[in-house]
Structure 1
Amino acid sequence: MPPDALDDSARWARVSDVFDVVADLPMAERPAALDRLCRDADGHPEADLRAEVESLLAADADATLSTRSLRPVESVAAAALLTDGVVVGERIGPWRVLRELGRGGMGRVDLVERADGVYDQRAALKRLGLAAADRVRQFIRERQILARLEHPGISRLLDGGVTDDGTPYLVMEHVEGEPITTAADARGLSVSERVQLFIQVCDAVGYAHRHLVVHRDLKPSNVFVSEDGGVKLLDFGIARLLDDEADGGVRTALPALTPAYAAPEQVAGGAITTATDVYALGVLLYELLSGQRPYEIEHPTLSGIVQAVVETRHRPPSAVTRDEARQRALRGDLDTVVMKALDKEPERRYGSADDFGADLRRVLEGRPVEARAPTAAYRARRFVGRHRTGVVLSALVVLAAGVGLGSTLWQARQARIEAATSSATAAFLGDLFRGADPTAAPTDTLSALDLLDRGARRLDGGLADQPAVRADLYAVIGDAYLGLGRPDSAAAFARRVLAVTGPSGVARDAVAAVRARVLLARATFPTDPEAAAAEFEQAVAAARASGDDAVLLDALEAQGDLVGSQVLSPDETVAVFEEAMALCRRLEGDDSPRLGRILAMFAGKAASAHQHGRIEGLLRDALARLPADEAPYDRSGVLLELAKMLHATGQPEEAVDRADEALAIRRRLLAPGDPRIGHALGTRASIGGGGPIQSEADAREALAIAERHADGAGEIEALDGLGAALSSQDRMDEAVEVYRRRFVRAGEVYGAEGTRYPAASGTYARSLYQAGRFAEASRAWETSLELTTSAFGPESAVVMSSLLEAGWSAEAAGQDARAAAYYERAYTGSRALSETSRTRASAALWLGKARLDSGRSPEAVSLLREALAVREVLDRPTASGETGDGMRAQALLGEALMESGEETEGRRLVEQALSVLADVFGPDHPATRRARAVLRR
């Protein structure tokens, strides 16, 4: 084997991981990243690893790469080009080649069998073929994709590695069966049976979508039906991870795809999303039900493909089948569902394969389907999408007419007032747009901010005799300014509304004043949370006085969302949300999506207030009220909150799944680089989704997005994820600096009030302890305790936990007296909070140890017995560390008894604990060594 070729799958995985991180960085940042990542466990440079990664980067950078551009003995890609013939009986790892199954753009696939005698199994082995050097990165991606997918409807990844000549390979489950269309015809399946079979396909593709993977090449030959009637999804050869950036390098005129099943956006070079797979599924179902494709590509040129896929209008499947019985079965809902999946515009299709499958289940069950024909509202939205300046105009017209001020306000106006308002508004807007440059080209060069600035200037000099209209327009312009990132301008217009709607103002003052105060609070909150809280209090009081429950709900929802857990106490936050939820249930019903949003907000604030007992139920309730097809963005927010909660409570697998789903939704809905995508990336990084290297890449991408948009909250979240990723790679000094930066930034963004700044201080102190910088950690915990005590109260459970961590740092720094004082405070406080809590058990343990170390054995015996008694009541340790702490308490109790003269009983307890300590903590852990030393006395 060439000296620089990879010799085992672990080595290849290392190359793959490093390559995956570096390839997504700008060229200028790659050398430093390679310096950092291409090092062994002791920190020494690994030249061969770096050479291999650099050769892959070179291959990735040029889609026309030839073998001459690669070092023949140092490049994986070059090694992959050395052999292309089929050798029956060839051994590849533990596999023996039986025969060739086929060839494709990604390489050759052979039928293989297990040859090492461990067990009998046949499989499909795929490896790079001749002229595939420019597909090295794609092959790496495919292996990563398959490794993360485990579903009965998807061909499984069984093995992977590198051949003796350096060629990467995959071993996948071999499926005995036939394409779905062939299988359905051969078995004579009815329409309903075909739909039932197809729902299995949707389930498999939906699973891939939830794991951030779009297949991009769904067609009958990639959807097999096995002999037992089960569906298997094959060939992720051109699949794309939704959390990857678009590939760099040279683009060809037509990307890798199967034109007959390709979506319009694939052919046109647009964004690839889950809707792309939905379109291919639509083509597949169309063919499965009607026996024909929705169109035929007569000329397989680029222009011919574009004409057929992008421009041709489809006929419903019932219109192309000649079977009358099938026509009758297809007319109506099935036609509508298929045509929704085949819509030319991605946003009008089903959002995912799961949604597609759900509607098909409704067809089979005779329930109403979600698919509908195009509506006037949709056509209006499409028009607005083509004329962005018109969006601002439309918003001004509609909102100034009263629609945006709420249905209650609208219904309260008399017809005469409506007519006068509309007339005045029309005149104002006519003057506004007549001021545009008549020589300007008819494009969207007039920005929204230009329009708002012009409107603001004109409004100051007009409508003096129409204070109601002026107040409405001030509010509309203020809202728009806030949405465009101009909070100072928004606050100024909110104050103008309040000036117009003074004590002697117009009839609708009450509603307008409430909304103005809410706007003012939202605009001032980032820079002055206390002032925002005061405005919210006035808004809520005014809303109550108005007797308008809809306006009161708006005010409470905004108050809870912004200042809950930041300025309000935990009890006040709970009261705000409970009132908002009760109002929402009464006004909008128990199944209202808005109620789901409020539940999700409440869960987030409860998490900040450390009310973990309520969070999971709230979030799952919210999720049930926010279906993916009706409120996908709101659903993504709930999923992120749920992911954080699950991670905090020791449910990492579901946490990652939920974060992945949220990120997929936001990638589908939002433009690349949107701050809300950054928030999702930051969350996934903070819970370790994808492993430490991927988490680091996620966090750095999230941080770049946040910095680009001056998004302080997003920056703090991204720094949290980056610190966690660095910590998991044992790069603790880097992690400490990241957490220090996060702590400082939290103070700048949130201020000393609320809970986020204290929480950031604790994370920073904890990182110093983990880095072995104990004296610094002890000082940092002093600061954190001051902040935490101020935020949560001196007797809170949060403070008790922080006192314990402060004690560990002080003890490790040799500050025994200070550590003992922290432990005693934690012990006293935790006893007052609860008779049986893990915090109390830990406090008794560590205070007992401190008493034992200071020669106060009788006190130590009492405390350590208490620690064990509390644990016995709890009786369900949830982690090995807690079991270890129980044995640590037992070993220390034994030592204390021996010191007190009870040698036999004490020695028995230590001996019993020693074996568990060695298993849980390891033989060299201080607790294990101490127990062993006691027994040697």
Structure 2
Amino acid sequence: MKGLSRFEGDWPAISALLDEALGLPRDERDTWLDGLAGERAAHRDALRALLAHQAQVETDDFLETLPPLFAQDQVSRDPGASAGSGVGAYRLIAELGRGGMGTVWLAERADGLVNRRVALKLPRIVWGDSLAERMARERQILATLEHPHIARLYDAGIDAQGRPFLAMEYVDGTPIDAFCRDRALSVRERVELLLQVMAAVGHAHSRLVVHRDLKPSNILVTQDAQVKLLDFGIAKLLQGDSTSRTALTELSGRALTLDYASPEQIRGEPLGTASDVYSLGVVAYELLAGARPYRLKRGSAAELEEVIAAAEVPLASSTGSDPALRRQLRGDLDAILNHALKKSPADRYPTMEAFAQDLRRWLDGQPVEARPDGLAYRAAKFVRRHRLPVAAGSVAVLALVVGASLALWQARQAQAEAATAQAVQGFLEGVFRANTADQADPAKARDTTARELLDRGAERIDAELRNAPAARLRLLTVLASMYQDLGLNEREVELQRQRLALARELYGPSSDEAVLAMAALANALGLATQRDEAAEQLKQASALLDARRDSDSVARLQVEIGQASLNRRTNPELAISFAERALAIARRDGASSRSDLLQVLHILGDAALFNKSFERAQAAYTEAVQLCEAHPPLGAGDLSLLYEFLGHSQRALGRYAEAETSMRKGMEAEVARKANPVRIAETQTHYAILLNQSGRFRDSLAALAPAWQWSQDAPADLPQRRWVRMWQARALANYGQTEAALAVSKGDVAVVGTPHAADGMDEQVLTDRAQALTSLGWLAEARTMLERSRQLQQAAGKPPGNLYAVALRRWLVQSGQAKDARVDFQTRRAAKKLPAAPTASEPVTDQVESAWLELSAGNATVAEAQARQALAAIRDGGHADYRRDHEARATLLLGQALLQQHRAAEARPVLQEAVRLHRLIYDPASSPLLVEAQAALTQAEQAPQR
């Protein structure tokens, strides 16, 4: 290998070419070498020598024995870079891949701090500061990107040999092209994968990062069909709308993979997000058509430029050999791919989201933006969506009629659409321009709120669009929706009424536009608590659809959704029937958008949950969650709430581990998307509540800690603040830190009886405080809290609830009135037509309370039986980890019952177990329950032997 040192200064270019060569099958490399031309041909000899050396050694250790190209002080060798050796804090396990610049290893953290496997990127060659610049750039870029479909950067540094390294998320996946091929995925399934890629790239673009090397080998797919985007190593931070030139650019030239490079990338021009649109367009073409749009010649930059400028991208539908595939690609997908592969960046999709949106439209059977929006196209889409049973003869006649008038109609329609669009655009521009140009005070213009802009626009619609009714209708719809997003329901109702009147005037009182406006008005009325009028609007809309036997249109879908939503809480059984009908329409191919399907599933889950149809609720929420996760932009705002309600339904079904996972994912989803702090606090509290109700009080306090911290500075009148504080106090009391709980609830109790937000928590705060005071023996204060709670409920016309009843029985027992407490318990059960003593199939909570009341009333044998029954239910139910507090309490009651029967020898092991469980669950320093358990054990140990 002598003589290669003369290529020392050209190594970056040789390295890039070597990456290309190693990516080719061995039998294609000679042809590739012979085809090198221009400035690339100058490196042919070096490349041939390197590749020949690989053939000689015939091992996977080619780069381990890389021949010296130049001075040894410029070659970074690591003789210890083998399986089992260390690099920084990492231990190498197995080599994953290699290229001209270095290797990628599967590694694991070896210092014990984190148990995690990573993909460790190690450079092989160092040339001055350029490699450090590239590695630092990749570290800087990846640190800003947090997305479920982007491989994360965990660590970066310099190892003992002086080499930079990057510790990346290890992805056990398959390149996207191989994944699609191996699983024989359908066109729709391939599009679904592409949408995941687009979501990841779009996220990077939003952080001003261009990938610059999108290709199948950088897009891995896991076994559960989740995409992971790799290698932002050649990406550059955007400056304005292009990338900056750096020393790396000057030294190593354009780092790219030619077959996926954009025309401007080939020409060395400044790059923006449109370059990634083009590259992903090539990937999409290859995945859908089974071939690349063209393979570039391996010539000089000038020759490459000429090929890119001259080569026409063939239609994707013309490249495949399968007739069925060609039919699927023909039309919309052809148009979408061609639009992404335009030569000029200005002619492509302006953003990755626009590219993705067109693919989503294709999935939903809706018109795509890449095609002319003419009558024939819209009519074809309409027929495919509705599949009207039209007789062949009728179709022929219709074709003749449409053919004769199509051109004229299209022209008029296009003119009308253009006029409407122009009017809408001009109106909106006028509203925003007035906010800047027409203001004498620029600061006032900057401080204008969204509400003020909306009000200004709403006031100007009638005056400025008097002669453009279609534009006025469109704007009324949009502005009404914006008012809803701001929670301004009364103003939304006003605009929806105007929309309905205009729709009736323009299209007729029974038109689809009028029915859709009625459904929208009903929704606005429902949000504004005007339920009776909302129900009347939906009734009239349904009657109009019934009259024309319309059972499956978009208008029918919206009316059914409105009926289901309006009744989901007041009449959940009726709401389920409406939601099921809406779901049947939404599932039909092309009948609705994914957002409609998601809305229906959400409403169906809510109605089923309120109806205590927990299996049905779980099924609906599960499908909704899967829909959101498959299409991240769709359900970004709904995902956490869906997970939360899914957790409620799973807990009601006794699926505690699943419920905990769902609640945690809901909380993590809100934190990940940096949602409103109030909403994040809500999800953290819901998760903490589940842990609290599962007897994991220490874990509950830990989960609640961020929300508790938020509540310290939150506005005092926020109901969410009071809710967080209430659960903080409850968790502290349950854990055994009773005085700390009283300190938290003191301020919230002081609010009761003074004007404050109607948050429905007064009774809970008062009864919680009563229980805490009772446990400390402060019975007079506890009785005052109970009486205030009873009076509040009486003033509201409601009987005292279950929380009050439980707190009252605690107070009665502590006051020496245990028999009265037992009577109260049994009387309430009789009112529900339940037996006096809870059966084994009833909630464990009731069984444990019954045992406690029987023991407190002196009925030790009955208490023993109830305690044993409760323990058996806990241990046989398969959910003991989520019933530890009840298990501890029932074990203590059993030991105490045995003691009352003078069976101390039997009681001792039982009470020892009770003390052990109490120490695991409660605060060992302050829990009254632990003190009670220890006292019972001491009594058993000191009792005389019998």
What TM-score results when the alignment is normalised by the length of structure 2? 0.52
**1:68-107 maps to which residues of 2 (within 5 A)?**
85-89=76-80, 91-92=85-86, 95=91, 102=98
Give the aligned residue type for 1:579: F
**1:212-611 maps to which residues of 2 (within 5 A)?**
217-219=213-215, 236-238=230-232, 252=244, 258=257, 260-262=259-261, 268-270=271-273, 279=281, 281-282=283-284, 285=287, 289=291, 293-295=294-296, 313-316=312-315, 343-344=339-340, 345=349, 346=352, 378-380=370-372, 453-457=459-463, 478-485=476-483, 490-495=492-497, 508=509, 518-523=519-524, 529-531=528-530, 533-543=531-541, 546=544, 547-548=546-547, 554-558=558-562, 560-561=564-565, 563-564=566-567, 568-569=569-570, 572-582=571-581, 585=584, 593=592, 594=596, 597-607=599-609
* 1:936 aligned counterpart, secondary structure: helix
CA displacement at 1:821 relative to structure 2: 1.5
CA displacement at 1:882 relative to structure 2: 0.6
User: Residues 685, 234 of structure 1: CA spacing in aligned structure 2 closer, same or farther, 3 A cutoff?
Assistant: closer
User: Per-residue displacement from partner, 1:152-190 (whole Å, max 9, x unpaired)?
Assistant: xx9x9999998458966538989999x999x99xxxxxx
Give the aligned residue type for 1:687: M
User: Residues 621, 348 of structure 1: CA spacing in aligned structure 2 closer, same or farther, 3 A cutoff?
Assistant: same
* 2:668 aligned counterpart, secondary structure: coil
Q: Does 1:736 align with 2:716?
A: no
The question of whether the paired residues in 2 share the 8 Å contact of 1:774 and 1:812 is answered with: no
User: Residues 162, 200 of structure 1: CA spacing in aligned structure 2 closer, same or farther, 3 A cutoff?
Assistant: farther
* 2:273 aligned counterpart, secondary structure: coil
Q: Does 1:907 align with 2:908?
A: yes
User: Residues 334, 96 of structure 1: CA spacing in aligned structure 2 closer, same or farther, 3 A cutoff?
Assistant: same
Give the aligned residue type for 1:457: A
* 2:908 aligned counterpart, secondary structure: helix
CA displacement at 1:576 relative to structure 2: 3.2
User: Per-residue displacement from partner, 1:374-416 (whole Å, max 9, x unpaired)?
Assistant: 9787535699xxxxxxxxxx9xxxxxxxxxxxxxxxxxxxxxx
In structure 1, C-alpha distance between the alignment counterparts of 2:176 and 2:421, rounded to whole Å: 60
The question of whether the paired residues in 1 share the 8 Å contact of 2:155 and 2:167 is answered with: yes
User: Residues 538, 309 of structure 1: CA spacing in aligned structure 2 closer, same or farther, 3 A cutoff?
Assistant: farther
Give the aligned residue type for 1:575: L
Q: Does 1:774 align with 2:768?
A: no
Give the aligned residue type for 2:494: A
- Which residue does the alignment assign to 2:936? 934
User: Residues 208, 524 of structure 1: CA spacing in aligned structure 2 closer, same or farther, 3 A cutoff?
Assistant: same
The question of whether the paired residues in 2 share the 8 Å contact of 1:209 and 1:352 is answered with: no
CA displacement at 1:480 relative to structure 2: 3.4
Give the aligned residue type for 1:269: G
The question of whether the paired residues in 2 share the 8 Å contact of 1:803 and 1:822 is answered with: no
The question of whether the paired residues in 2 share the 8 Å contact of 1:297 and 1:308 is answered with: no
Task: Give the one of 115, 118, 126 matched to 2:121.
Answer: 126
In structure 2, C-alpha distance between the alignment counterparts of 1:634 and 1:348, rounded to whole Å: 14
Give the aligned residue type for 1:688: E
The question of whether the paired residues in 2 share the 8 Å contact of 1:647 and 1:687 is answered with: no
CA displacement at 1:536 relative to structure 2: 0.7
In structure 1, C-alpha distance between the alignment counterparts of 2:424 and 2:188, rounded to whole Å: 57
CA displacement at 1:269 relative to structure 2: 2.2
Q: Does 1:645 align with 2:645?
A: yes
In structure 2, C-alpha distance between the alignment counterparts of 1:598 and 1:497, rounded to whole Å: 24
**1:695-706 maps to which residues of 2 (within 5 A)?**
696=671, 698=672, 701-703=674-676
User: Per-residue displacement from partner, 1:16-70 (whole Å, max 9, x unpaired)?
Assistant: xxxxxxxxxxxxxxxxxxxxxxxxxxxxxxxxxxxxxxxxxxxxxxxxxxxxxxx
User: Residues 329, 584 of structure 1: CA spacing in aligned structure 2 closer, same or farther, 3 A cutoff?
Assistant: closer
User: Per-residue displacement from partner, 1:527-554 (whole Å, max 9, x unpaired)?
Assistant: xx323x2321331343466555776764
Q: Does 1:687 align with 2:685?
A: no
Larger Cα-atom Rg? 2
Q: In terms of mean alpha carbon deviation, does 536-545 or 727-736 score higher? A: 727-736
Q: Does 1:845 align with 2:848?
A: yes
* 1:687 aligned counterpart, secondary structure: helix
The question of whether the paired residues in 2 share the 8 Å contact of 1:736 and 1:767 is answered with: yes
* 1:170 aligned counterpart, secondary structure: strand
In structure 1, C-alpha distance between the alignment counterparts of 2:586 and 2:80, rounded to whole Å: 73
CA displacement at 1:719 relative to structure 2: 3.6
User: Residues 640, 610 of structure 1: CA spacing in aligned structure 2 closer, same or farther, 3 A cutoff?
Assistant: farther
User: Residues 623, 220 of structure 1: CA spacing in aligned structure 2 closer, same or farther, 3 A cutoff?
Assistant: closer
Q: How many residues get paired?
A: 691
* 1:237 aligned counterpart, secondary structure: coil
Q: Does 1:717 align with 2:690?
A: no
CA displacement at 1:889 relative to structure 2: 1.0
The question of whether the paired residues in 1 share the 8 Å contact of 2:749 and 2:766 is answered with: no
In structure 2, C-alpha distance between the alignment counterparts of 1:456 and 1:914, rounded to whole Å: 76
In structure 1, C-alpha distance between the alignment counterparts of 2:639 and 2:907, rounded to whole Å: 51
Q: CA RMSD in A?
A: 7.3
* 1:379 aligned counterpart, secondary structure: coil
User: Residues 304, 523 of structure 1: CA spacing in aligned structure 2 closer, same or farther, 3 A cutoff?
Assistant: farther
Give the aligned residue type for 1:542: Q
* 1:557 aligned counterpart, secondary structure: helix
User: Per-residue displacement from partner, 1:394-452 (whole Å, max 9, x unpaired)?
Assistant: 9xxxxxxxxxxxxxxxxxxxxxxxxxxx99xx9999899899999x9999969997876
Give the aligned residue type for 2:121: K
* 1:126 aligned counterpart, secondary structure: strand
User: Residues 293, 230 of structure 1: CA spacing in aligned structure 2 closer, same or farther, 3 A cutoff?
Assistant: farther
Identity of aligned residues (%): 17
CA displacement at 1:603 relative to structure 2: 1.4
The question of whether the paired residues in 2 share the 8 Å contact of 1:180 and 1:223 is answered with: yes
The question of whether the paired residues in 2 share the 8 Å contact of 1:518 and 1:558 is answered with: yes
Give the aligned residue type for 1:602: L
- Which residue does the alignment assign to 1:821? 808
User: Residues 803, 914 of structure 1: CA spacing in aligned structure 2 closer, same or farther, 3 A cutoff?
Assistant: same
In structure 1, C-alpha distance between the alignment counterparts of 2:417 and 2:324, rounded to whole Å: 56
The question of whether the paired residues in 1 share the 8 Å contact of 2:138 and 2:232 is answered with: yes
User: Per-residue displacement from partner, 1:533-590 (whole Å, max 9, x unpaired)?
Assistant: 23213313434665557767644523543x556xx52xx2442342353367489969
In structure 2, C-alpha distance between the alignment counterparts of 1:843 and 1:100, rounded to whole Å: 58
Give the aligned residue type for 1:768: A
CA displacement at 1:338 relative to structure 2: 8.4
* 2:858 aligned counterpart, secondary structure: helix
What TM-score results when the alignment is normalised by the length of structure 1? 0.53
In structure 1, C-alpha distance between the alignment counterparts of 2:132 and 2:580, rounded to whole Å: 59
In structure 1, C-alpha distance between the alignment counterparts of 2:477 and 2:229, rounded to whole Å: 49
- Which residue does the alignment assign to 1:359? none
In structure 1, C-alpha distance between the alignment counterparts of 2:526 and 2:643, rounded to whole Å: 27
In structure 2, C-alpha distance between the alignment counterparts of 1:430 and 1:932, rounded to whole Å: 84
The question of whether the paired residues in 2 share the 8 Å contact of 1:217 and 1:257 is answered with: yes
In structure 1, C-alpha distance between the alignment counterparts of 2:321 and 2:512, rounded to whole Å: 58
In structure 2, C-alpha distance between the alignment counterparts of 1:331 and 1:436, rounded to whole Å: 39
* 1:88 aligned counterpart, secondary structure: coil
Q: Does 1:889 align with 2:890?
A: yes
The question of whether the paired residues in 2 share the 8 Å contact of 1:201 and 1:233 is answered with: no
CA displacement at 1:801 relative to structure 2: 10
CA displacement at 1:931 relative to structure 2: 3.9
